[in-house]
Amino acid sequence: MKLKRTHTCGELSAKNTGSSVILNGWVETRRDHGGLVFVDLRDRYGKTQVVFSTERNKDLHEKVNQLKLEYVIAVKGKVEPRPEGTVNPKLATGEIEINAEELEILNEAKTTPFEISDSITSATELRLKYRYLDIRRPSVQRILIQRSEIIKALRDYYGANGFVDVETPFLVKSTPGGARNYLVPSRLNHGSFYALPESPQIYKQLLMLAGLDKYYQIVKCLRDEDLRADRQPEFTQLDVEMSFVDIDDVIKTTEGAVAEVFRKSLGIKLELPLQRMEYSEAMSKYGSDKPDLRFGMQLVDLGDIVKKSSFKVFSDALSNGGAVKGIKVESAAGGFSRKNLDDLNVLVQGVGAKGVLWIKYEENDINSPAKKFLTPEEIAGFQQKFNAKKDDLVLIIAGPLKITNLALGQLRLHIANKLNLIKKGEFKLCWVVEFPLFEYSEEEKKLVSSHHPFTSPKVEDMPLLDTEPAKVRARAYDLVLNGVELGGGSIRIHRQDMQKKIFSLLGISDEEAKEKFGFLLEAFEYGAPPHGGIALGIDRFVMLLTGAESIRDVIAFPKTAKAVCLMTNAPSPVTKKQLDELGIAVKEKE
RNA sequence: GGGGGCGUAGAUCAAUUGGUUAGAUCACCAGACUGUCGAUCUGGAAGUUGCGGGUUCGAUUCCCGUCGCCCUCGCCA
C-alpha cells in the first residue's frame, strides 16, 4: 500500500482547500461522464467526492475505468472547492472535492448481493448471511458506534464511582429454575456438563460476601429459550451489585448511570429522581408490570357503577370476585368498523378474556351491543366516569381481575400503536416497585419466585411469610423505559435462615437446596453483608435509544428466530471424533 | 410445540377471475458523454416463480406437504 491515508472521508472541508491529501475507502458510487468521472469514496467517517478528469490527469483514466462499486482504493489529490452551483449540502464534505492525481486499487470486489445503501433494506435473511456487508451501511455502523459510546459511558460512570469490574466464569454449574441453560460437555468428566450462565447472579452475590463492596460487569448472558424481536440467545447485561445498601441506594446509583447515558448519547437531561410506581398501580391503571407512560388511556374501574347490573356479563364477573373495567379511546368511534372491533376480540381472547364490549358515543346517544342491557343510570354513570364525548369509543372487559387488567393493557398498547398515539423520540422512564415476592404457578401448583429465590422480602411483610405468603412484597424493582423492561434487581437475602425459609416456601427441600445451592448457603454462614443490585439489558437499552426496531439491529452478529447464525451456519454437527472425546452419542431424530 | 405473515431476475417489487413470450427499477455487461451527486442516453444479458406433490387443457395465482425468514403465544426465576 503506497498511498496511506492522511485524512478520513468525513473530515475535509473548505478549510483544507489547497492541501494535498490521501484518502482510503470504498467506492460507493461512480458517475461516469466520459472525460470526467466522479467517485464517492466512503469510510466509517463519511463520504468524499473524488474527481478524475482526463484534462488534468490523462494517465489515470485507464485505471479509473476499472473501478467498480465497493472496490477498495487509495486516492491522492488536491482538496478543491467545488465550482459554484455544485456544492452538495446533503454531504458534510459537500463544499469540497478531491481532484485526483494518483489512484491505487487496494482490492477489487465482486458485485455485492445487495446494495450497500441506507435507502434500500434487504430481507433479514440476506442481511444476516452477509452481515459484514450489511454493517458497511452507515445506518448500521451508527448504531454499533452509539452502542460503543453507551457502554463507554457506563464504564466511565461505574469506574468513577468506585465499582470494580470483575469477570465471572462462563463455565458454570447448571442451576434449576429460570431460563434453560446452554450446556457444555466436559471432556475430562464424561457425562458431566457445564452450563453457560443465564446471568452472573450467584457470583456477584459471592463477590459481596468476599468484601468487594461494589461490583459491576458488562457481560454476556446466555439463555436457551425461544427468541423474539427483543430477545436473543446471547445478550449483554450491565450487572451491578453493592453491599450495605437498601433499595434507594441501588436506585439512585442506577438513575445516575442512566442519566449519564442519556446525556452523553442523546444530549438529553433526565429529570431525577425518576417516577416510582407500585406494581399494584401499574397493573390496575396500565394492565402491565411495564407500563408505557408515553400516552394515557388508563384503565378505569366500573365496578361501582355496575354492581347492581342485571346484565349477566357484568354481574357474573363481579359475583365471582372479578372486575369490570374499561378504557376510553378519544375521537375513535368513527375509525373502528364492526370488523375492527371484532378483531379486538381475537386480541383479548389471546390472554384469556371472553371478549370486548364496546360503546360508541354519538350525539346525545350511544351505540353498543350492550345498550339494551344497560339502565339509564348505568349509561349515565359510564359517560360521567369516562367523561365521554361524541365520537369517543369505550372498550370494556369483564372477568377475573388479572385477566381483565392484562386484556385491557394489551388493548391499550394495540390501539396506541394503531392510532399512532405514541410520539417518536420521547422517553418515559419509571421504576416499578413493591412486586409480590411469590406468584402461584397453576402449572406446578405451588408458589414460585416472581423475581428469583434470593430476593429479600420487605421487612414489614416478613411476618406474613408464615400466614399469607402470597401477600408478601419483595424488595425488588424494575426499570421500565417506554413500556420495555430495561432491567430489574432486588435487595438480596443475606441470612441463611431466611434463605432456607424461602426455599422451603418454594417447595425446595433441604437436600435439593444443598445439592443445587449448597455453596451459596454455606457462604452465608461466613458473614454475608446486606447487599443488593440490578441488571440492565444493554441491547434493549441501545435499541430504545437508537430507535432500532429489533434487537438484531444493535448486535453485530445476531441470530435468527431459530437461533441460527446465517453467516457461519452455527450450530452445526460435529465429527464423530469430537463426540467420542466427549463421550457423547447423538440420538437419531425420531 | 401452537397461531399468523412472507418467499418471483443479483437486489427491491409487479403480474387482472387460473390464460398465451412472467414485467419495472437499481445493480451487472457493452457503448456515448467534462460538473455529476438517485447522473443521463443507447443497447444487452439476467428467472427451476423456495422445494416436492396435487387439482386443471393450462398454476406465480387454487389445495396439501416441506424448508427458510419474520411477528406472536407458551417459554424467558
List, for residues A530-549, the tens digit of each pLDDT value. Answer: 999 999 999 999 999 999 98
Which long-range CB contacts under 8 A does A286-289 form with residues at least 24 apart? A286/A409, A286/A412, A287/A405, A287/A406, A287/A407, A287/A408, A287/A409, A287/A410, A287/A412, A288/A406, A288/A409, A288/A413, A288/A483, A289/A432, A289/A435, A289/A478, A289/A485
Q: How confident is the model at residue A440 (pLDDT cuts 50, 70, 90)?
A: confident
DSSP 8-state class, residue A547: T
Nearest protein residue to nucleotide B74, judged by CA and C1' positions: A226
A452: nearest nucleotide, CA–C1' criterion:
B77
> Does pLDDT of A589 surpass 70?
no
Q: Which of A213-217, A265-269, A398-402, A535-539 has the lowest mean pLDDT?
A: A398-402
Average pLDDT, chain A: 93
Note the CA–C1' distance, A127 to B58, in angstroms. Answer: 38
Nearest protein residue to nucleotide B7, judged by CA and C1' positions: A123
**Tens-digit pLDDT profile for residues A139-176:** 999 999 999 999 999 999 999 999 999 999 999 998 87
Nearest protein residue to nucleotide B77, judged by CA and C1' positions: A178
- Supply the pLDDT for residue A379: 92
A27: nearest nucleotide, CA–C1' criterion:
B37
Question: Which SS3 state, helix, strand or coil, does residue A533 take?
Answer: strand
What is the mean predicted confidence (pLDDT) over A202-214?
96
What is the mean predicted confidence (pLDDT) over A567-585?
94
- Supply the pLDDT for residue A590: 52
Note the CA–C1' distance, A434 to B5, in angstroms. Answer: 39
Note the CA–C1' distance, A541 to B50, in angstroms. Answer: 36
**Tens-digit pLDDT profile for residues A380-439:** 999 999 999 999 999 999 998 988 999 999 999 988 888 888 888 899 999 999 999 998
> Does pLDDT of A283 surpass 70?
yes
> Does pLDDT of A499 surpass 60?
yes
A485: nearest nucleotide, CA–C1' criterion:
B76
Q: Which residues pair with A556 in a beta bridge?
A: none
Note the CA–C1' distance, A84 to B37, in angstroms. Answer: 14
- Supply the pLDDT for residue A25: 97
Note the CA–C1' distance, A210 to B3, in angstroms. Answer: 49
Angle at A7 between CA A4 and CA A8, to 5 degrees: 105
**Tens-digit pLDDT profile for residues A7-39:** 999 999 999 999 999 999 999 999 999 999 999
Residue % of chain A over a pLDDT of 90: 77
Q: How confident is the model at residue A478 (pLDDT cuts 50, 70, 90)?
A: very high
- Supply the pLDDT for residue A336: 83
Tell me the pTM. Answer: 0.93
A176: nearest nucleotide, CA–C1' criterion:
B77
Tell which strand B nucleotides have any atom below 7 Å from a protein Cβ: 1, 10-13, 26-29, 32-40, 68-77
